[in-house]
């Protein structure tokens, strides 16, 4: 199998949650591979800052401010992308949140927000992107940043509703793939499931929890490498699932 990013040069990618962590690392690598990347997040200024550091690279990073827990803002992001950059060829559903409470004592509004950002936004963005790909005859690629917690549950404190949203991503990825197949489209769907990655998502973790994982973490770039691998495969090859864990991770 010959791996190459050449077919994506000059094409448009939308990356949600590009203002930090894994999303920022993915946006950076896609720009370095020559893509026109629209980074979507609430902290647009952070994406603007990242874009400045990428000036002179093969591709370009654009920033769009949106709260993806609001469906209309997701739609606005795709409309702006189509009008100002071009039709989307790659969607990376990356943005995610985790409040780290419990099911028994957690806050219902926090759960709702988690479902909206982690799961509903992925559904809405995928719908928007695939409509645009179909309209423009683009054999595109949807990448869902999942988690090992989307495949099995292990003993970590305060998991709350987060694994339920990631199990939803596992189901959504496969359901979407079947729909795409039944429509005979050539759009690929890949789930990328990281173990622990050193990002700001752990900022609200208490010390005891953090000590459980701090010696065994991936870097955001490791996940971006996995995304680029899935995108680099030839048109007839589809990577369904990539699990990426740090060596020595116990769960
Ligand atoms: N870190 C890990 O150990 C790990 C492991 C497995 C899976 N993951 C998954 O990887 C993905 C990225 O996580 P990360 O670790 O890189 O987290 P992070 O550093 O906290 O970054 C989260 C990103 O999501 C964006 N986001 C959150 N709420 C949003 C909203 N309402 N609207 C728009 N954007 C929003 C944030 O942007 P703004 O705040 O600027 O809006 C930020 O760019 C998530 O799906 C997460 O579940 C992470």
Residue 174 lies in a domain: yes
At residue 106, φ and ψ (nearest 5 deg) are: -70, 165
What percentage of residues in the chain have a pLDDT greater than 90?
Answer: 92
Q: Which atom of ligand 1 is nearest to the CA of 44?
A: 40
Domain containing 106 equals 6-244
Token output for 27: 């946006």
Give how far Cα 234 sits from Cα of 125, 160, 176, 243, Å: 24, 39, 20, 20
So what's the pLDDT on residue 36? Answer: 99
Q: How many domains does the chain have?
A: 1
Residue 92 belongs to some domain of the structure: yes
pLDDT for res 157:
87
Residue 1 in any domain: the answer is no
Tens digit of each residue's pLDDT (9 = 90 or more) over 143-180: 999 999 999 999 888 999 999 999 999 999 999 999 99
Let me know if residue 151 belongs to a domain.
Answer: yes
CB 60 within 8 A of CB 81: no
Question: What are the C-alpha distances in Å from 56 to residues 32, 59, 61?
Answer: 9, 8, 11
In the predicted model, is pLDDT for residue 198 greater than 80? yes
Output the pLDDT for position 215: 82
Does residue 110 lie within any of the structural domains? yes
Residues with a CB atom less than 6 Å from ligand 1: 16-17, 19-23, 41-43, 66-69, 94-97, 117, 145, 147, 194, 196-197, 199-201
Catalytic annotation, residues: 162
CATH number at residue 119: 3.40.50.720
Please say whether the dihedral angle defined by the alpha carbons of residues 82, 88, 93 and 95, taken in this order, is positive or negative.
negative
Report which protein residue has its CA nearest ligand 1's atom 44.
96
Confidence of residue 207 (pLDDT cuts 50, 70, 90): low
Q: How confident is the model at residue 183 (pLDDT cuts 50, 70, 90)?
A: very high
The band of 19, judged by pLDDT with boundaries at 50, 70 and 90, is very high
Q: Does the structure show a pLDDT above 70 at 62?
A: yes
Residue 249 lies in a domain: no
Q: Give the orientation angle of helix 220-232 with respect to helix 21-32, to 10 degrees.
A: 50
Q: Is the pLDDT of residue 205 over 80?
A: no
Distance 219 CA to ligand 1 centre (A): 14
Whether 250 is covered by a domain: the verdict is no
- Interatomic CA distance for residues 44 and 5, integer angstroms: 27
């Amino acid at each position: 199998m010959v791996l190459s990013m050449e077919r994506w040069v000059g094409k448009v990618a939308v990356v949600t949650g590009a203002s930090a962590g894994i999303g920022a690392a993915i946006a950076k690598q896609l720009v370095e591979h020559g893509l026109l990347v629209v980074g979507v997040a609430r902290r647009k200024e952070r994406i603007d800052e990242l874009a400045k550091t990428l000036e002179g690279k093969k591709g370009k990073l654009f920033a769009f401010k949106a709260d993806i827990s609001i469906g209309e803002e997701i739609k606005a992001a795709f409309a702006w992308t189509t009008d100002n950059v071009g039709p989307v060829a790659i969607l990376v559903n990356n943005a995610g949140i985790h409040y780290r409470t419990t099911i028994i004592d957690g806050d219902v509004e926090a759960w709702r927000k988690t479902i909206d950002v982690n799961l509903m936004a992925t559904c809405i963005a995928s719908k928007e992107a695939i409509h645009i790909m179909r309209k423009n005859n683009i054999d595109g690629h949807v990448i869902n940043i999942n988690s090992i917690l989307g495949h099995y549950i292990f003993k970590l404190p305060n998991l709350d509703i987060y694994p339920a949203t990631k199990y939803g991503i596992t189901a959504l990825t496969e359901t979407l793939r079947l729909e795409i197949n039944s429509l005979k489209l050539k759009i690929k769907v890949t789930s990328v499931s990281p173990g622990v990655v050193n990002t700001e998502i752990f900022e609200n973790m208490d010390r005891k929890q953090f000590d459980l994982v701090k010696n065994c973490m991936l870097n955001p770039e490791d996940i971006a490498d996995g995304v680029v691998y899935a995108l680099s495969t030839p048109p007839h090859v589809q990577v369904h699932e990539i699990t990426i864990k740090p060596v020595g991770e116990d769960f």
